[in-house]
Structure 1
Amino acid sequence: MTTLAPSTATTTAARDHARAQHGTVVDCMPQLPPPAGTLWAEKVAGGNYTHLTVPAGAEITLTDTDGDACAHLLLFVTGRPWERLNAADTVKVQWNAYLGPGSLLLSDQGRVLATLTEDTSGHHDTLTGTSSAARNTARYGDGSAHGPSPAGRELLKLAAAKHGLTPRDLPPVISFFRGVRAQQDGALTPTGAAGPGARVTLRAEQPLTALIANTAHPLDPRPGYHCTPLAVRAVPGRPTAPGDPLRTATPEHLRAYLNTDAANHSPQEAR
């Protein structure tokens, strides 16, 4: 016997059909309500995006569940969106283009946005940026946000709009789980990925709004568009404490944390 799909030809039938989906769980979706003790938990499909706002001290863990995710990240100070992630300053202030445990993600105000407290991947990219619609269209045939091979910038524009931000507010990203290395001649060579289960944890040193596009890296050498799910989890925590060795690991670290402390206690910045 053939089972016919429920009719949605009338408003009543459409309502009944929609309500029948209540409780349906798919692999890639937010967990609502979040699990106990969690601020946010979500699995983001390849070629999709998410955005979340967390308080200072929160720990955001990104997990490459299947080994082929690429998290293109932007951070903004909540309420002060003009203070945002600056990939160039993150590199030059710390004298290092390659992120690892203890690395800081910095704004152009010389302040710490987030501290990388855990890293089991080691394959990250502060140099390339994310993909564009034009590049993905030339390479895959379509770079639009809702097409089969969405570009990172197109997805980040959608995430940004949710927070009143425009395309001109989007600086270069830092990408996690797909690495590159700079060669002597300046060429950027992909280093691949760490494999399934690789994760990084970022501790928010200020209240942050995070925009994340999970999309193929622009220097992925494979001919097809490859991107698998990314798990995002945020839990409450505390900013890096004054006695933490991370604060005094280098003179540059100490200055960045002190700049952050001053901003967090400034009435002018709090407005």
Structure 2
Amino acid sequence: MTTPETSTATTVAARAHARAQHGRVVECMPQLPPPEGTLWAETVAGGNYTHLAVPAGTELTLTDTEGDACAHLLLYVTGRPWERLNAADTVKVQWNAYLGAGSLLLSDQGRVLATLVEDTSGRHDALTGTSAAARNTARYGDGSAHGPSPAGRELFKLAAAKQGLTPRDLPPAISLFRGVRAEPDGSLTPTGAAGPGARVTLRAEQPLTVLIANTAHPLDPRPGYHCSPLAVRAVPGRPTAAGDPLRTATPEAHRAFLNTDAANSTTLEAR
């Protein structure tokens, strides 16, 4: 029942109601101001999204707090959004479809966008991409961004718009915390999640714009829509240093870092 104290029927009452929310804390929201030493901290609800721009060197840690999150991820070079995450090149350049600690997330320019420096999950997917509205509508009855079972692409559209990007700027995403296995016949079998507390840390090797859609994996075999909260934390850091073994772990990694160094040097000179 609406009372005079909670009514929003007038401007004055609406303002009073809005101001009464000051200081209220809920489970899924950004922490403002962020904790000391942190650039950004947020808990993203299942079926929701976030977006942020981070400087080079930032360490972005994602945590599957309850064991049922699925972080669909897109990365763009800030100020150069045509250079973006390329899932296909990430897989084929490194001769490995299964992401883990030490994996590089690459652009189609052969440059490193981010390095996966820590991984306690081991359950990721660089092959399937995120869900679409038509598929979610067919499976769950509604795939719209604000419905009960939002599709990843619909959430990405909202996140992209807030960073000046359009639907045409959305490439295939990679998915963290939900794994798949490629079978001999080319089909993909879901391997599930790692469980509560699984954690991934990415190091930004360039200034990055990050889009995250936390929504059910498109190959989740369960009949219902399942997705739990995702914790996101960004702290300052430095890009992978010249003597770091990650840079020369493979010939492909070495070349990708050299390409990145060259691009960063050119950008700095242009400034």
Shift of 1:18: 1.0
- Give the AA of the match of 1:36: E
In 1, the alpha carbon distance for the partners of 2:7 and 2:246 equals 60
Cα offsets for 1:114-148 (capped at 9, x unmatched): 00000000000000000000000001000000000
Counterparts of 1:19-34 in structure 2, within 5 Å, are 19-34=19-34
TM-score, normalization: structure 2?
Answer: 0.97
- Give the AA of the match of 1:198: A
Counterparts of 1:134-149 in structure 2, within 5 Å, are 134-149=134-149
Counterparts of 1:201-212 in structure 2, within 5 Å, are 201-212=201-212
CA contact (8 A) 1:263 1:269 kept: no
Cα offsets for 1:64-119 (capped at 9, x unmatched): 00000000000000000000000000000000000010000000000000000000
Provide the residue aligned with 1:261 in structure 2. Answer: 261
SS at match of 1:247: helix
In 1, the alpha carbon distance for the partners of 2:30 and 2:268 equals 36
Shift of 1:7: 2.3
Q: How many positions carry a matched residue from both structures?
A: 270
User: Unaligned stretches of 5+ in structure 2?
Assistant: none
TM-score, normalization: structure 1?
Answer: 0.97
- Structure 1 residue ranges, 4+ long, deviating more than 6 angstroms after superposition: none
Are 1:87 and 2:87 an aligned pair?
Answer: yes
Provide the residue aligned with 1:169 in structure 2. Answer: 169
Are 1:214 and 2:239 an aligned pair?
Answer: no
Shift of 1:270: 5.3
SS at match of 1:265: helix
In 2, the alpha carbon distance for the partners of 1:132 and 1:180 equals 18
Counterparts of 1:1-271 in structure 2, within 5 Å, are 4=3, 6-267=6-267
In 2, the alpha carbon distance for the partners of 1:222 and 1:20 equals 40
CA contact (8 A) 1:130 1:173 kept: yes
CA contact (8 A) 1:85 1:113 kept: yes
Identity %: 86
User: Unaligned stretches of 5+ in structure 1?
Assistant: none
In 2, the alpha carbon distance for the partners of 1:10 and 1:205 equals 50
CA contact (8 A) 1:264 1:270 kept: no
